[in-house]
Structure 1
Amino acid sequence: MPYSPESLQAFVEAAALGSFSAAARRLRKTQSTVSTAIAHLEADLGVSLFDRSGRYPQLTDPGRQVLGHAQEILAADARLRQLSVRLAAPVEPRLTVVFSDVYQLDPAQQLLQRFAEAFPEIELEWLDAEGHDVLELVSSGRAGLGLLPRQERYPDAVIARPLAHHSELAVYVAHGHALAAAGARAAAQLARHRQIRLSAQVDHARAVAGPAWTASDYLMVMEMAEEGIGWAELPRALVQRYDRGHLVELALPGWPRRIHSDLVWRRDTPPGPAALWWADALR
């Protein structure tokens, strides 16, 4: 029996986000459209995928079993569409990518070397940016491909695809900072000390009331923290790779925090073969 990609996508997004309304926002559809698509899928399969008795829908046992298969079908569909682009489209002569520092290339994967071998003639430009700056660079056409921490909403001009990869954010201070010796009291004392955070996080819900310095990228945030200026939320992979032994990770309740990432590109400018190579490598 055929299942529409729309119903499978609605089901997968609702399962991932924990609500039909959140899935509707992600898919830029009405909640009733998402609910109807999932109901049609349930009717086709003859099982209830969600328990709707509570405030938020919960996957049923059959729903959990169906979820893996639905994800595989959508992944295969995406691979087929990407293959059609590779077979039909010429390789773009230039590609600009903009990545958040929450993602750090794994040296063992040699992605840059493999890309250079696969596309020896292409001109690659690599930009670093965070949050809305990534979206602005992609939306404006300045970059063809972007990677950033998952957002609840995206501009209509942008298509977002989830990555299996995730990063971890932790809280760090310099070894000589007062919080480094605070132990279990550190969480209660954060607001008394200067926070260093990304400029894009000034209005972020996680920002703690109190004095703050800001910087446009994580590397500068890390450098300020290393100087003992204050405490900072930093990607663990970034610290492991670039810290010079000056930082200590604070053991705080709820930390480290897992950050999922999305790959984004302009809706009216589908990625070419070189951009799709990165999409495959990162997925």
Structure 2
Amino acid sequence: MPYSPESLQAFVEAAALGSFSAAARRLRKTQSTVSTAIAHLEADLGVALFDRSARYPQLTEAGREVLGHAQEILAADQRLQQLSVRLAAPVEPRLTVVFSDVYQLDPAQRVLQRFAEGFPEVELEWLDAEGHDVLEIVASARADLGLLPRQERYPDALLAQPLAHHSELAIYVALEHPLARTGTRASQQLARHRQVRLSAQADHARAAAGRVWTASDYLMVMEMAEDGIGWAELPRALVQRYDRGRLLELRLPGWPRRIHSDLVRRRDSPPGPAALWWADALG
């Protein structure tokens, strides 16, 4: 029995985001449209995918089984669409990407080398930015693709592709920082110490007034933390790659935190073969 991509997408997004309303915002549809699409999928399959008795819908046992298959179908559909573009479209001469530092290239995967081998004539420009700066750079056409931690909402001008890639954020301090000697009690003492964070982050909740230093990128945040300026939330992969043995990860309840990523592009600019290669490599 054929299932519409729209119903599968509505189901997958609702499962990922935990609510029909959040899925509707992600898909730029009404909540009733998403609810109807999921109901049609349930009717086609003959099973209930969500338990709707609580405030937020919860996947049933059948829903958890169906979810993996639905994701596979959507991924195969996307690969087929991308293949059609590669076969028909000319290769773009230049590609600009802007990535958050939450993503760190795995040397074992040889991503840059494989791109250079597959597209030897394409000029690649790599930019670093964080948060909404990534969105602004892509929306302004300064970059073709952007990668950033998953957002609940995106500007109407942008399309977001969820990636399988995820990063982990952990809390770090310098080895000589007072928090380094407090063990698990550090979680209650964070607010007493200066926090070093990204300028793009808006959450001041855990840091007392006047106890926040900011920087525009994670590398500078890490350097401040290494110098003992304060504690910082940092991507573990970034620390593993660039730390000089001067940071200690605090083992606190709820940490490290998993951060999922999205790849964004403009709606009015269909990706060429080189851009689609990156979507495949990161997906």
Q: TM-score range by the shorter chain?
A: over 0.9
- How far the C-alpha of 1:184 sits from its partner, in A, is 2.4
Q: Which amino acid aligns with 1:82?
A: Q
The equivalent of 2:107 in structure 1 is 107
- After TM superposition, the structure 1 = structure 2 runs for residues 182-261 of structure 1, keeping only pairs within 5 Å, are 182-201=182-201, 203-204=202-203, 207-210=206-209, 211-261=211-261
Deviation of 1:204 after TM superposition, in Å, equals 2.6
CA distance in 2, matches of 1:98, 1:188: 36
Q: Which runs of 5+ in 1 are unaligned?
A: none
State the shift of 1:66 in Å: 1.3
Q: Counterpart of 1:51?
A: 51
Deviations 1:181-239 (A, max 9, x none): 111221111111110000001x2376533410000000000000111111100000000
Change (3 A) 1:23 1:206: farther
Equivalent residue number for residue 69 of structure 2: 69
Matched, 1:271 2:279: no
The amino acid across from 2:20 in the alignment is F
- List per-residue Cα deviations over 1:133-158 (Å, max 9, x = no partner): 00000111000001000001000001
Tell me which amino acid in the other structure corresponds to 1:209.
A
- C-alpha spacing 1:193/1:126, structure 2 compared with 1 (3 Å): same
Q: Which runs of 4+ in 1 moved over 4 A?
A: none
Please tell me the residue identity of whatever aligns with 2:148. Answer: L
Matched, 1:121 2:121: yes
Which residue in 1 is equivalent to 2:17?
A: 17
CA distance in 2 between partners of 1:144 and 1:209 (Å): 39
Structure 2 residue aligned with 1:81: 81
Structure 2 residue 138 is the aligned partner of structure 1 residue 132? no
CA contact (8 A) 2:218 2:234 kept: yes
Counterpart amino acid of 2:208? A
Residue number in structure 2 paired with 1:38 = 38
Q: 2:174 — aligned with what?
A: 174
Give the whole-Å Cα distance in 2 for the aligned partners of 1:126 and 1:278.
Answer: 12
Letter in 2 for 1:198: L
CA contact (8 A) 2:139 2:266 kept: yes
How far apart, CA to CA, are the structure 2 residues paired with 1:184 and 1:62? 39
- Is the 2:194–2:207 contact (alpha carbons within 8 Å) kept by the matching residues of 1? no
1:142 aligns with 2:142: yes
Task: Summarize the Cα distance change of 1:209–1:28 in structure 2 as closer, same or farther, 3 Å threshold.
Answer: farther
**Matched position secondary structure for 1:101:** coil
In structure 1, the residue corresponding to 2:2 is in which secondary structure? Answer: coil
Q: Hey, what's the Cα distance between the residues in 2 that align with 1:206 and 1:31?
A: 31
Unaligned runs of 5+ in 2: none
Decide whether the 8 Å contact of 2:13 with 2:23 is kept in 1.
Answer: yes
Residue aligning to 1:60: 60
Deviations 1:241-275 (A, max 9, x none): 00001100111111110000001100111111001
Equivalent residue of 1:200, what SS? Answer: coil
Query: Contact 2:104–2:238 at 8 Å: present in 1 too?
Result: yes
Cα distance in 2 for partners of 1:253, 1:67 equals: 29
